[in-house]
Amino acid sequence: ETEALDHVVRSMYDIAADDGRLRATLNGPPDARSAAFSRLRKEYPRRRAFSRFVLPAGAIPAALETPIRDGLHVSPASSADLVAR
């Protein structure tokens, strides 16, 4: 069940890429790190809130429907793919 939840979250948000961008700002002297972090914030990729997504009906195990709906605020739908609203 946790694998299904992990898959759902990673489909909506690439935490590894986000982590990599942040870690890249840690290199160099303080002034360079400050500039890199400011650039990261300025050029941060659009990331939609989980509530902006709709999951196809049956895409997740029944045991996870409530946590995903109530915890992530993701709505079930009948579409065939994960789509942004």
pLDDT digits (tens, 9 = 90+) for 11-37: 788 889 999 999 999 989 999 999 999
Q: Is the dihedral of CA 16, 37, 72, 49 positive or negative?
A: negative
Query: pLDDT exceeding 70 applies to what percent of the chain?
Result: 87
DSSP-derived secondary structure letter, 82:
-
Inter-residue contact 63 to 78 (CB < 8 Å): no
The one-letter amino acid code at 9 reads V
Instruction: Please indicate, yes or no, whether the overall pTM of this predicted structure exceeds 0.75.
Output: no
